[in-house]
Structures are given as C-alpha cells and as structure tokens.
A and B are shown apart, each in its own frame.
Chain A
Amino acid sequence: MRKCSLNSINSVFAEIAKAATLYLPVDGKDGSAVYTKWEEGKVWSNALNTVRSPKDFFFPQTENLMAFKTAGKNIEIIDTRSESEDFVIFGVRACDVKSFEILDRVFLSEPVDTFYAARRAHGVIVSVACTKPSETCFCGTFGINPAEPAGDISAWKTETEVFFRANTEKGVALLSKIEGLTEECTDEAVDAQKEKISAIMKKLPLKDVTTDAFGGGKTMDYFNSPAWDELSQSCLGCGTCTFVCPTCQCYDIKDFNTGKGVIRYRCWDSCMYSEFTRMAHGNNRLSQKERFRQRFMHKLVYYPENNDGLFSCVGCGRCLAKCPISMNIVKVMKKIGGENK
C-alpha cells in the first residue's frame, strides 16, 4: 500500500498525464460529474459517480470501422482505425469496474472485437472505493464490494489522503511512475474505511434485493409472466436506461454515404427502440412490452445462461436515477422474482 496527501493529488495527476492521457470524473456545468481529460486546473469530482458510464472508453457511442472509396468500378477499402494511445481512467467505482468484465465476455470472446480489444489493451483502470453510496446503489446484490474495487490499481480516498494498491502488472507499472510522489504505508486507514463502508452497506435501502430467482435456464419461468404487461405499461421506449447503463452492449452497424464513398460505423443501439434488430422480414419484437422484457431477461436470464451465471447488471443505480418514468431493474426483480420465488 502506498499513499499521498489529498493536497498533492494534482501533482500525481500531472505525473500520470506525462506518460498517458488521463481521464477522471470532473464536475460539469450542470453539476453532475463527467469523465474529462485531465489538464492543469481540472479537479477530481467528489460526486459518487458519473451519469454517463465509463464504458465509452472501450465501447464508444459511435466509432468508425472502415471506409470505402469508389472511383469508377473500383472500390478501395480503407482501414480508418487510429492507433490507440495508452490512457488511464482514474476514479472508477467498483460497479463500473465490474461492468468491464461483463463487456469483455461479449467483445473478447471469439470472434474477438479488435476495436474493443485494442482499447482494452491500452487502458489502465484506477478504481476508487465508495464512502457514500447512494440510495439507488445495489452493487452488493451482485457480489460487488464498493470497499474493495477491482481494477489495475485500487484507491481509497479519505478526508486527507489517497491510498493506492496495485493489483496487476499494468497497475504496478503505473504505480512505479508515481513512486516519488507517494510513500509506503500500512493498511490501517484503509481497513478502517472498509469497515465504515460495510456498516453503510447494511443500511442501504436496496440491500435486500436478490438475484435468487434469476439465472440461466429460467427463460420459460418468466417469459410469459403477466407481470410484464404491468411493468412495461408506461415505458416510453426511450433509450435512457440502456445508454446510461455500463453493461448494455448492443450496437448497430451503419453505412454513411459521404457522396464520394461510404463510412461504415457502429453506434450504440437499444433494445427499447422500435428499429432494434430489424430484419428483412420486419421486426421480431413488435410491442414495447416485448422490447422491455428483452432488456431485463437479457440481464437476468440470457446473459447468465451464456456466461457461467454472471448477471449483466452491476447495481450501479443509473437506470433508477434516470428513467423518466422511474421504472427500472429493481422494480422488475422485485415483481417478477418476488412472485416466482
């Protein structure tokens, strides 16, 4: 374990930024935190988390895949991939660190998504423990401990100091770069903080939300449940829940006609949208109920079925805070799971 004083954290940022582009949550103009490129003058936000999750770093909202240039009968295929540079994301919460594992299982399994893989290889993650979870947090439901965030380096922030522990080779390498600005220390202060956090976790309003009723093999238990009608009845079919979600991974690939050629790009898509997975014969989910059901069945049943029981929700609470009609995965789990336990 190493530490530095909170007052000197900006010199740590400056040192990291010398070697790689550094991103960290900074308070935006509307008061909420946004991952921002660090430069002198940018201040690490005290907010619990960002509205937009850090999945953007590996799976950006839009990304060019390739381009085609046409001249007469010739089509030239252009690799538009830009060399990825090393970057560091600082201050990632435990829930969001876990979300990377969920995305990895999709993008890094065969056939490997090389765009995602390149970004993953170049990124170093410095996580930070949560001292003040929100009422909407339920990471504990998925076995995530906000006092022990994973990542290449784990950090703990107290009133006066920041503590660091490297967990991976990438983490050791980064920590060695700031060796001169940090000092070796005991685990005492961090252990005290962990205890405090675990006491708070026991008081969180959503602490009893459970995944017991869900997991692989449960498709037919819930697929035809009448509860979906009720739960989805006022869903607007907007994409807010999917776009703020760190684990939602669906995308569309589209061609943009530039007049002289074509740019092929991908962009986030949402199962809540009427055009989602439209095929030659039309759409396979015609009602909002079916689309709504897809989102939750994917997270709670289909994904775990294909991924050794791992759920594709990390309990970050973003969809709880941001859904315009306040419908969300917790309400779904309580209703569907509660009735079928």
Chain B
Amino acid sequence: MQTITRDQLIEKAVSLLADGTVSCVLGWQKGEFDYDVTPVLFKNADELKANFVWNDFCGANFSKYLVTKAEKATGKVLVFLKPCDTYSFNQLLTEHRFNREKVYAVGIPCEGMVDVAKVKAICGDGIVSIDCGEKLSVTTLYGDEPTVIDAKDVLAERCINCKSKKHVAYDELLGEEGEVIASDRFDEVAKLEAMTPDERFAFWQGELSRCIRCNACRDACPACTCEKCVFDNPKSGVENKSPANSFEEKMFHIIRAFHVAGRCTDCGECSRVCPQNIPLHLLNRKFIKDINCFYGEYQAGAEVGSRAPLVDYTTDDLEPGEVFDRRDNNA
C-alpha cells in the first residue's frame, strides 16, 4: 500500500494548477481494469478528479516524457516522481535533454510497485478487480472469494531490489523522505559471473532468443533519447527491424547496453515493459557493477552534472591489464 493517497496528489495538483504554477500535470490515468494505467497530461481539476490514479500499479517512469512534453507545454509541467524516477530525471538534465525551467517536480514516496503477472501467478487469470488497501484484495472471474495478498509478495523485481527511497531531485516533496538502501541488486549478476563462459552464453541465448525486437525496452528507457536510433536509421548500415539470426538478437542488446553504460540509473523500465519477460536489467547491472569495481562507486543520476567514469579521464584510471586483478580482488 502506498503511504501517500490519490486525494493528496490530486489536491496538490489542483492547487498548483489554480495558482498558475503549472499549466498541466503529467500523471497516471485509470484504465479498463485496476492495473492498466496510462501516462497522460491532465489539463484541469475535473480531468484529475475523474481519471487520475495513484496506486500500486503506477510503475511508469515519467522522466523521459519530459523530453517531449515540457518542450510543447505552454507553462510548466507538474511531474510526480517516485524516488527511482528522480535519478532518471537528473541524468536527463545532465544530458541537457529537457528544460528544467519548464518543469515543476513533486517528489512522492513509494512503497514499491506490484507486478500484475505475479498477482496472476497467485490468483489466476480473469482479474475483475484489485483493491489496493492495506493488502491487495483480488477478485477474479473464477474464484468465489477475493484473494488477499501482501503487496510485498508480488513486488516487481526492480522494487524488491530498490536502491533508494530517497529523492535526488524535486521542487517540493510530499510525505516522508527515505534513505538510499543497500540492496541485493547485484546478487543475480554475481551468479552469472560465477558461470562458465559456455553456461553464460547458454543463459543469454535462452533469454535473448525470445526477443521479438519490439523495441519497447529501448523506447521506454530514459537513457535512450537519441533522436534517431542507429537501429532505425537506414543510413547507419546497422539498421535492423527484426533479428535475422541469433547474432543480431544479441547484437542489439549488447550495443544498447554499452551505449547506456554509465548513464543507466537502473530504473528498471526495460525489464518492466518487455513483453517476453527478458531480464534486461541484468545486462545493465553488470556494467554498473563493473564500473563500481573498476572506477569506484558511481550512481548515474545521483546528482546533476556528474561526469560518468567512462567519459571522464583521470590519471587514476585503470589500465586494461589491471582489469582482471581488480575484478578478482573485488570478487
């Protein structure tokens, strides 16, 4: 259950609209069911009261939308940011991807978002309603009684491994501020590292062979804001709409992971949106783990303007030959 309520958020948004601080509100709109929320720009109090939602299914990270929405808005855009979203927000500012002057950011606390697939794994298909109270109460077409689940048991992967409940950017904060958390997010990466190269190859082959190249991972990713992705650009020579073979399946993902290395904040959007449940975050986390190990702890988006180790030359930078020593010492 979230500690801050929908009504509190609506009240805040309505007052900021009324006093002219903002001209519109980027928020979550209710859908057909209780879990299928859509990011939209709300223009007025009536729209907010009718369709705004804030519940355990508001996972979508709004930071990337500011690249397009802030530019077009007549006044300021109010954006609600969960702690993890604020890292993407800062990273985009570092990369000069939107105009900070056009945004009014309200930090909101988050108790973790629920993965509806995990709910279905417990309650079965045919969800008619999900009541996000103290616990989740799920009614389905096939069960007589609602199933009561603790949200903690059905959290999205990225929320189980939440790295921070602290907001690193906002104009105003609602509710209690949290702390940076020591998460176990690198445990899965360590397991992959412990595999033999053949096992690891087989693991990624098994995962990436399911990819349908829908590009949702790239399109949802706040670090992927190139105006023309090389993979969409016929002039790049590497444009490819579909993975023609297993080499191309992997190439797209590996190139993308390299391109976001040092800029990926580990927000988890890629894995959230993948229709094939491919654990893409593991690729990016491997880079983060390596950067931490080779260059010292670095969290992309923790502050605006920081230079990522991979684009910042220092005389202390490790020599290629030291990679293996340092990795083994840190293992």
Contact = CB atoms under 8 A, between A and B. Distances in A.
Interface of A: 28-32, 34, 48, 51-52, 61-62, 132-135, 200, 203-206, 230, 233-234, 236-240, 242-244, 252, 254, 256, 265, 267-270, 273-275, 278, 320, 322, 324-327, 330-331
Interface stretch (B100-108, B120-128, B280-288, B304-312): B120-128
Interface string B34-58: 0011111100000000000000000
A31 B121 contact: yes
Contact of A239 (B215, B234, B244, B273): B215
Contacts of B219: 236-238, 324
A268 B214 CA distance: 10
Interface of B: 31-33, 36-41, 60, 65, 117, 121, 124-128, 141-142, 206, 210, 212-216, 218-220, 228, 232, 234, 239, 241-244, 272-273, 275-278
A320 B218 CA distance: 20
23 contacts: A29-B206, A30-B278, A31-B117, A31-B121, A51-B275, A52-B276, A204-B141, A205-B33, A206-B32, A234-B38, A234-B39, A236-B220, A237-B219, A238-B214, A238-B219, A238-B273, A240-B216, A242-B214, A243-B275, A244-B275, A267-B242, A274-B232, A325-B38
A326 B121 CA distance: 20
A269 to B, nearest CB: 6
B40 A236 contact: no
Given A322-B275, A324-B60, 9 more contacts: A30-B278, A205-B128, A233-B41, A238-B220, A239-B214, A240-B273, A265-B244, A274-B232, A275-B234
Given A62-B243, A268-B241, A275-B232, A324 B126 contact: no
Contacts of B124: 132
A29 to B, nearest CB: 6
Contact of A61 (B39, B242, B272): B242
B31 A28 contact: no
Main SS at interface, chain B: loop
Given A273-B241, A274-B232, A133 B126 contact: yes
B267 to A, nearest CB: 13
Given A30-B276, A252-B241, A326-B38, A331 B216 contact: no
Nearest to A242: B214
A51 B216 contact: no
Contacts of B142: 132
B219 to A, nearest CB: 4
Given A240-B214, A325-B60, A267 B31 contact: no
A336 B36 CA distance: 19
A266 B128 CA distance: 41
Contacts of A326: 31, 36-38
Contacts of B40: 230, 233-234
Contacts of A134: 125-126
Contacts of B206: 29
Greatest chain A CB density within 10 A among B141, B239, B272 is at B141
B69 to A, nearest CB: 8
B176 to A, nearest CB: 29
A28 B244 CA distance: 22
Contact of B212 (A29, A135, A243, A275): A243
A322 B38 CA distance: 12
Contact of B241 (A29, A267, A327): A267
Nearest to A48: B125
Nearest to B125: A134
B127 A135 contact: yes
Leading 5 A-B pairs by shortest Cβ distance: A267-B242, A324-B273, A326-B36, A30-B277, A236-B219
Contacts of B216: 236, 238-240, 324
A261 B206 CA distance: 31
Contact of B32 (A51, A244, A256, A330): A330
A320 B275 CA distance: 11
